[in-house]
Structure 1
């Protein structure tokens, strides 16, 4: 049995605001295990969104630093399944394994969460091999934040894109300055979709906010647009002059 160095700290849970999505998502309790930069940032953002967050780490100083920010905190070694049981993590609908550098601990904790039948498990991986192991274990969602951010920044550095998000099914969302081929004529008449295989879904003119694009929208030189489509198609379209 794990000897807890820091008793489970509780404070009044934040009440969900009308916009927190509590009605839409039901149980909004999540355990974040591993409170390094990734885990602590995630935990704080979930708190901001009105979730009830249990933050767990083996480092006493880290837990003490975050104890006033999160709903619950505990110092525990979650490679021991008894630690998870004492914390009641098996009663949560979601858990995140934020540990990356200690691959063995990451795998053990993920296995314990699966054994506890937590229905929605996310885990951070530091390499594709690490991610593949987690997926084979049965982890529901595996993220490679450093790798994914590296790919994203590479797109921004090497091209005309202002932002780039790629999804698992070879589909991407791109923010870019409108190329000349898309300007001066209504989108419904420009043939952008048929010629380039992309769809313009939003537009922002200098000094104005983003608005939805319609078939009647006429893009002007200098407008910033949001484009969706297959990754290669949006990459090619963003590179047009």
Structure 2
């Protein structure tokens, strides 16, 4: 007998309630999707994973609530109550057709927030055009971030929007031993020191009187190009 059921539960744990307060639907449990689902679960968020590959189902069974289903099939999404989730993540990226079909299905049923993984700029444009609210290019984003980190003194790099960026970095020599006011960092470099983390001491928000030492870590914000110049100082 052929099994035509598009939805096969594969969990011994309770799936999220189908209400507007329900959690996040994560479709595709590859490296990207599984990292999101696992982190959400550890943070105490309701999450339901959806995967069609038996080996991934076996890997994640018992660790997160999940079902085995083909999300390219609109009937499967209806059966698992996808329209009741306020947020869905499409972690399928390598298979362009599946990614587009799944995202389109979620758009059709009116999921309020759809996050989708893309593997190229062209893929991202397609997902945006069919209605994905947020498109992520993890490899491109990670590559750009690492490029900034390896180019200078930066230890972490987060681009917020329109060039505004926050970085963690070691202090340039010319600022060491001086207060922020004495260093005139804002006037000279156009960036703002948000906070300072000294070894063995809790993070503190920076004031003009905050003194910077050689072993400190600085949290600095500003335009990406200006931050690059500041971080490049010896």
Q: TM-score, normalised by structure 1?
A: 0.88
The TM-score, its normalising length taken from structure 2, stands at 0.91
Task: Trace 1:108-119 onto structure 2 (pairs within 5 A).
Answer: 108-119=101-112
The answer for unaligned runs of 5 or more in structure 1 is 15-25
C-alpha distance after superposition, 1:36-63 (max 9, x if no partner) = 0111111000001111111011112211
Give the superposed CA RMSD: 1.9
Contact preservation (8 Å) 2:7, 2:80: no
CA distance in 2, matches of 1:8, 1:130: 31
Native 8 Å contact 2:6 2:73 kept in 1 = no
More moved, 4-13 vs 169-178: 4-13
- 1:66-101 CA deviation, whole Å, 9 max, x = no partner? 12111x211111111111000101010000000010
- Name the CA distance, whole Å, in 2 between partners of 1:13 and 1:33: 14
The 2-side partners of 1:54 and 1:127 are apart by: 27
Any residues of structure 2 matched to 1:151-166 within 5 Å, and which? 151-166=144-159
- Where does residue 167 of structure 2 map in the other structure? 174
When residues 8 and 92 of structure 1 are mapped into structure 2, their CA distance, relative to the original with a 3 A threshold, is farther
Aligned to 2:197: 204
1:12-59 alpha-carbon deviations (Å, 9 max, x no partner):
469xxxxxxxxxxx8251100000011111100000111111101111
Aligned to 1:9, the other structure's residue is in SS state coil
CA distance in 2, matches of 1:65, 1:213: 46
Match of 1:75 among 55, 61, 68: 68
Query: Which stretch of the first structure deviates more once superposed, 194-203 or 40-49?
Result: 194-203
- Name the structure 2 match of 1:40: 34
Q: Is the 8 A contact 1:198 1:228 kept in 2?
A: yes
**Whole-angstrom CA distance in 2 between matches of 1:215 and 1:134:** 46
* Gapped regions of structure 2 (runs ≥ 5): none
Deviation (angstroms), 1:5:
6.4
**Other-structure match for 2:48:** 54
Does the aligned pair in 1 maintain the 2:180–2:209 contact within 8 Å? yes
Q: 2:6 is matched with which residue: 4, 7, 10?
A: 4
Is the 2:10–2:61 contact (alpha carbons within 8 Å) kept by the matching residues of 1?
no
Residue 84 (structure 2) pairs with residue 91 (structure 1): yes
2:129 to 113, 127, 136: 136
Aligned residues: 229
Q: Which residue of 1 aligns with 2:143?
A: 150
1:231 to 215, 219, 224: 224
